[in-house]
Structure 1
Amino acid sequence: MIRDLLHNKKRLSLPKGTGILFAMMFLMAPVQIVAQDTPRVTSKIDSTHIRIGEQVQFEISVEADTTTLVVFPEGQTFAPLEMVRASDIDTFRNKDRMNLIRTYALTQFDSGHYTLPRQKIIVNNKELYTDSLQVLVNDIAVDTTTQKMYDIKPLAEVSRNYSDWVRYLIWGIVFLAVAGALIYWFFLRKKPLTQEEKEALLPPFDRALLGLKQLEESRYLIQSQYKEYYSELTNIVRAYLEEEVHISAMESTTEELVAKLEMMQQAGKLNLEKDTITNFKSVLQKADLVKFARSRPDTHGAEEDRKVIENVVVRTKEAIPEPTEEELLQREEYIAEMARKKRKKKRITTIIIAAAVLVVALGGAVTYYGFTKVKDTVFGHPTRELLHGEWVNSEYGYPAIVLETPQVLKRTAIELPESLKQVISTNQTFTYGGLLGDFHISASVTTFREGVEFNMEDAIQGSVKTMEQQGAKNIIVKQDEFTTPSGKKGIKVHGSMDITLPGTEKSEKGEYIILNFNEKGAFQQVIIIHRQDDRYAKDIENRIVNSIDFKNQ
């Protein structure tokens, strides 16, 4: 430097002697050596040629001061290559310097030329970058002369998943079992008979004798309750005569009842002695006096009256002629008819109770869930079954678009016109349902030939025209910018239209949404079409839209 200053003295037009002065100043100045504390970042890769699925070792090295804070890359920052693992940071010290080294294992499962992007390293809040690198991923060579090649297998139909219906079936069985158990317990089972029911099933003669026995053991006479005593005494004998002799005894007066017995005796239908009828009439008259005239008989007389009535019952049983075969047959038919009516009544009661339980259950469900939801659950609704079915998350096309749909989309062959074949390299379309069905979904990925300039607006207009060709009319088109939950930007085209039903002039109102993306040099499009009045379609649409993503290739 001194030599240069002296050499250029004349050119700089410095005063005489100035050059010598500068030279002396530099020579006399103390020499200072400054340590090189600037951090240095280097990177290297063990190979730039790999086969599909093999791994390359990418190493980043940072040389810096021992007090320097260094942050290495984290996560999948190496796309299009995929990071398999990252090693721990190795640290090597050299006096007041340190060398930090971290190695990343990277791979790729598709052949092609890939650029490993520059990686950012933060050193004391300062950003430093590595160099970008080129990596070639080769196909695995296949010897087709010895290895037989096979066609791709076609799509296989899988059986429908009935997990939801099994759950409904189990709950239905539980409900029916509980309802059946309640009906059986309260209405169908043979309950233990009470004492009153057992007595009611006894024949009239046995029931009358039992009643008289219980009356004898009662406390009516001890407590001077003569009215109650004679009321029960006459009711026992009147009930017996009505059932056994078949005369209207309960509603008849004393005179009428005695007259009926005498008429049956004279007609030969009741072989009853006259004294028995006379004694019976005497007891009935005394009972009338006690019940209506407040007469007070003595206790001994009351006990004797009970014995008279017991004798009347026994004599009447003996006086009844034996029934003929015709009468026995009629009685059996009557009993059978009564049993049939009883069974019919029980069946009707069971049906009414079951219907009532069902109505109450449905009423509670309608009150809690609403009529429409209950109706769709019981009778079914096509889009409700889609919404609550088992959804599928899958990748479609290449570069792949990721979607979650209620059914797997099937690959659909699209015949391209010759004009489009000149610009389109590949077109992969996957669909479910049709434009005129309950719900339509399509996902397509289109790549273009090299040098073709893609215009998304033209592609959108082509999609709208395709819907018109398939029967859509009065299409209202709205266009907005759209961003997926994963941050991918695209164009959203949506609106309503009239869908003409095939074979008729009737049309229904429909809604559509077309999502358009330009990712990784390809045009991806998702189309959803459904009926406007479908109460489940919007939920399906929102779930599909919120699942859209693009796989890092």
Structure 2
Amino acid sequence: MKLKFYIFLFLLSSAVFAQQKQIETSVDTTKNKIGTEFKLTLKTVVSSKSKVVFPKPKTIGSLEVIESYPIDTIKKNDTYELIKKYGLTQFDTGKYTIAPVQILIDKKPFFSDSVRVEVASVKVDTLQQKMYDIKGITIVDNGIGNWWIYVLITVLILGIGAFVYWYVKKRQQKKIEEEVYKTPIEKATSLLNNLEKKELWQKGEVKEYYSELTDIARNYIEEAIQIPAMESTTSELIQGIRTASTKKKMALTPETVENLERVLRQADLVKFAKSKPLDFEITEDRNKIQKVILTLDNAIPTELPTEEDELLNEAQRQRQIKIQLQKRRNKRIALAVGTVVFLLAATTTFFVATKGFTYVKDNLIGHPTKELLEGDWVKSEYGNPGVSIETPKVLKRMDTEKLLPKETMALLKEMQLFVYGSMIDNFYITVSTSKFKNPVDIDLAKALEGSLKVIEAQGGQNIIVKQEDFQTNEGITGVKGYGTMSILNPNSKTSTKAYYEILLFKQDQGLQQIMILHEEGDTYANEISERVLHSVELRKAAN
């Protein structure tokens, strides 16, 4: 009720009653250049049961009909207001009369008023105007946006991850069966050969060489003789071998045990005392370990395995192969995923550092007004007198009879309202046109004040107002009000800081208003507002 009260007060100061004809005739302008469109508008108000037929002429008088626009229907209580527009033009200069047009209402003919128009020539002055060079070719943006860049980067990163997976798998050409050994001696012999291929001590890595050499020997002893060799000191290990030799009746010579002990103590000196044996000593130690392992293996009493044992061992071997294969596969997947994650993180960090966090967030997660800005825009004409404007979305016509009280509507000859969004949305725009019944001198400053009172009634708070003159591209002047306000969300009870711009124009008992409202600091919304306001074109009101 408060909103209706403010609107009523605003309109009451400049509106009176008037009588309406059966057919109302108007043109957007009475003077135009050659080939430019005159827009003839015919209006009539009929009952809901009446049948109205508008003609489809190719010419009206001496003017050519270049377009017959669809009929616009507005329901008012039990009546309908029908609006029909014709686009007319003439390619010869002179003064012409738009002849009356016959409209059939319930099969009865009614005629529109004749209108005098003038077609003027275009002045071309080649002497006074400056001459300029021919401009070069301008590259036009294809308009597809930058989304393909992000898709390409994502595909490239995924491709790199797939390549890493394939490359690691390719590097694992050696069959996994070779790493699952049937016996401890087979494992020890293979590991000794692999150790020699690494050429560690030749590269100066003597400590690493002795560490691997003794680990091979200790692992063999632990698996073959069941002695905790990996956890034992050198003395404990030698004592354990002697005890096991007696218990298992192993035929070991003192020389074999002494050679093993000598190599183990040499390794301790290399690892802990930083001893550096000579090259021939290293070779001898390697040969001693190999000989000790072979001697121990020959000394261990052997038992012929049964068929069941062989089947069990083969099953265990196959199970080990599957486990190793799964580990390799998991390793490849982890490496590929890690590469992709690293590249994504590196790419994101690069864009954050160069473009800023907001840029990355808006392009990855999305932003409502950014999508509006980069979407398909629509240019259309709204209301009467017409307001031609370009917007991200088509504005929706609102039923003013439901928004305004009957007392207020009675003071208006005509009012139309078109809206996109709402005051609590990311972007809100309204276009309204109204015509008053009585001649009045409209004060745009007071009209702006009335509009702000309406906004205040809808939840606007702490409104800061700045005012300046505004001029369209056609030179029509009006008033621009702009500033900030706080908007209370009735649902969440939270307050949002918003920026608004209001344009007001007056023409022959008519008022045209454009309002834009969005969150303060939204750069995308600022670009939308600038583009919308730059596109504003006004039709001159017809009497």
Using the size of structure 1 for normalisation, the TM-score is: 0.57
> Structure 1's 245 and 475: CA in aligned 2 closer, same or farther, altered over 3 A?
same
**2:38 maps to which of 80, 90, 115:** 80
State whether residues 185 and 293 of structure 2, in contact with CA within 8 Å, keep that contact through their aligned partners in structure 1: no
Q: Output the amino acid matched with 1:261.
A: I
Residue of structure 1 equivalent to 2:355: 369
Residue of structure 1 equivalent to 2:242: 262
**2:95 maps to which of 125, 132, 153:** 132
**Given the alignment of the two structures, is residue 280 of structure 1 paired with residue 256 of structure 2, yes or no?**
yes
> Which structure 2 residues correspond to residues 170-249 of structure 1 after superposition, within 5 A?
170-171=151-152, 174=155, 177-178=158-159, 180-185=161-166, 189=169, 191-193=171-173, 202-203=181-182, 204-209=184-189, 240-247=220-227
> Structure 1's 351 and 209: CA in aligned 2 closer, same or farther, altered over 3 A?
closer
Using the size of structure 2 for normalisation, the TM-score is: 0.58
> Structure 1's 257 and 477: CA in aligned 2 closer, same or farther, altered over 3 A?
closer
> Structure 1's 317 and 181: CA in aligned 2 closer, same or farther, altered over 3 A?
farther
Structure 2, unpaired ranges of 5+: 1-24, 26-30, 41-61, 69-83, 109-143, 200-208, 270-275
- 1:379, distance to aligned residue in structure 2 (A): 3.1
- 1:75, distance to aligned residue in structure 2 (A): 5.7
> Structure 1's 255 and 459: CA in aligned 2 closer, same or farther, altered over 3 A?
closer
1:143 and 1:284 mapped to 2: Cα distance?
121
Q: Percent of aligned pairs with the same residue?
A: 29
Q: Output the amino acid matched with 2:224.
A: E
State whether residues 212 and 310 of structure 1, in contact with CA within 8 Å, keep that contact through their aligned partners in structure 2: no
- 1:211, distance to aligned residue in structure 2 (A): 7.2
1:199 and 1:467 mapped to 2: Cα distance?
81
CA deviations 1:28-83 (Å, max 9, x no partner) are: xxxxxxxxxxxxxxxxxxxxxxxx9xxxxxxxxxxxxxxxxxxxx9964766379x
Q: Output the amino acid matched with 2:382.
A: Y
Q: Structure 1 residues 176-185 or 283-292, which shifts more?
A: 283-292
State whether residues 112 and 138 of structure 1, in contact with CA within 8 Å, keep that contact through their aligned partners in structure 2: no
Residue of structure 2 equivalent to 1:494: 482
**2:468 maps to which of 480, 501, 508:** 480
- 1:524, distance to aligned residue in structure 2 (A): 1.8
> Structure 1's 319 and 485: CA in aligned 2 closer, same or farther, altered over 3 A?
farther
Residue of structure 1 equivalent to 2:394: 408
- 1:410, distance to aligned residue in structure 2 (A): 0.4
Number of equivalences:
414
> Structure 1's 263 and 459: CA in aligned 2 closer, same or farther, altered over 3 A?
same
- 1:461, distance to aligned residue in structure 2 (A): 3.4
Residue of structure 2 equivalent to 1:447: 435
- 1:433, distance to aligned residue in structure 2 (A): 1.3
Residue of structure 2 equivalent to 1:312: 295
Partner SS state of residue 159, structure 2: helix
- 1:482, distance to aligned residue in structure 2 (A): 0.7
Q: Output the amino acid matched with 1:315.
A: N
State whether residues 180 and 321 of structure 2, in contact with CA within 8 Å, keep that contact through their aligned partners in structure 1: no
- 1:471, distance to aligned residue in structure 2 (A): 1.9
> Which structure 2 residues correspond to residues 95-134 of structure 1 after superposition, within 5 A?
106-107=64-65, 109=67, 132-134=95-97
- 1:475, distance to aligned residue in structure 2 (A): 2.7
- 1:401, distance to aligned residue in structure 2 (A): 1.5
Partner SS state of residue 536, structure 1: helix
- 1:546, distance to aligned residue in structure 2 (A): 1.0
1:232 and 1:459 mapped to 2: Cα distance?
92
- 1:502, distance to aligned residue in structure 2 (A): 1.4
1:307 and 1:112 mapped to 2: Cα distance?
105
CA deviations 1:316-337 (Å, max 9, x no partner) are: 4654796998x97998899599
Q: Output the amino acid matched with 1:474.
A: N
CA deviations 1:167-190 (Å, max 9, x no partner) are: 699458625633541452355x35
CA deviations 1:119-164 (Å, max 9, x no partner) are: 8xxxxxxxxxx7533222525658869xxxxxxxxxxxxxxxxx98
Q: Output the amino acid matched with 1:80.
A: F
> Structure 1's 468 and 550: CA in aligned 2 closer, same or farther, altered over 3 A?
same
Q: Output the amino acid matched with 1:531.
A: E
Partner SS state of residue 171, structure 2: coil
1:491 and 1:422 mapped to 2: Cα distance?
27
Q: Output the amino acid matched with 1:135.
A: I
**Given the alignment of the two structures, is residue 465 of structure 1 paired with residue 453 of structure 2, yes or no?**
yes
Residue of structure 2 equivalent to 1:396: 382
Q: Output the amino acid matched with 1:272.
A: M
Q: Output the amino acid matched with 1:452.
A: P
- 1:525, distance to aligned residue in structure 2 (A): 1.2
Which structure is higher in RCO with an 8 Å CA cutoff and minimum separation 6? 2
> Structure 1's 131 and 259: CA in aligned 2 closer, same or farther, altered over 3 A?
closer
Partner SS state of residue 99, structure 2: strand
> Structure 1's 295 and 518: CA in aligned 2 closer, same or farther, altered over 3 A?
closer
> Structure 1's 359 and 144: CA in aligned 2 closer, same or farther, altered over 3 A?
farther
Q: RMSD in angstroms over aligned alpha carbons?
A: 5.6
State whether residues 373 and 392 of structure 2, in contact with CA within 8 Å, keep that contact through their aligned partners in structure 1: yes
State whether residues 494 and 513 of structure 1, in contact with CA within 8 Å, keep that contact through their aligned partners in structure 2: yes
1:199 and 1:329 mapped to 2: Cα distance?
14
- 1:215, distance to aligned residue in structure 2 (A): 11
Structure 1, unpaired ranges of 5+: 1-51, 53-72, 83-103, 120-129, 146-162, 220-228
**Given the alignment of the two structures, is residue 524 of structure 1 paired with residue 508 of structure 2, yes or no?**
no
State whether residues 263 and 285 of structure 2, in contact with CA within 8 Å, keep that contact through their aligned partners in structure 1: no
Q: Output the amino acid matched with 2:377.
A: W
2:178 and 2:231 mapped to 1: Cα distance?
23
Partner SS state of residue 132, structure 1: strand
Structure with max Cα Rg: 1
2:508 and 2:385 mapped to 1: Cα distance?
7
- 1:118, distance to aligned residue in structure 2 (A): 13
CA deviations 1:351-386 (Å, max 9, x no partner) are: 655443332222122112211222233333332332
Residue of structure 1 equivalent to 2:366: 380
- 1:245, distance to aligned residue in structure 2 (A): 3.0
- 1:192, distance to aligned residue in structure 2 (A): 3.2
> Structure 1's 535 and 304: CA in aligned 2 closer, same or farther, altered over 3 A?
closer
Q: Output the amino acid matched with 1:455.
A: I
Partner SS state of residue 423, structure 2: coil
Partner SS state of residue 443, structure 1: strand
State whether residues 392 and 405 of structure 1, in contact with CA within 8 Å, keep that contact through their aligned partners in structure 2: yes
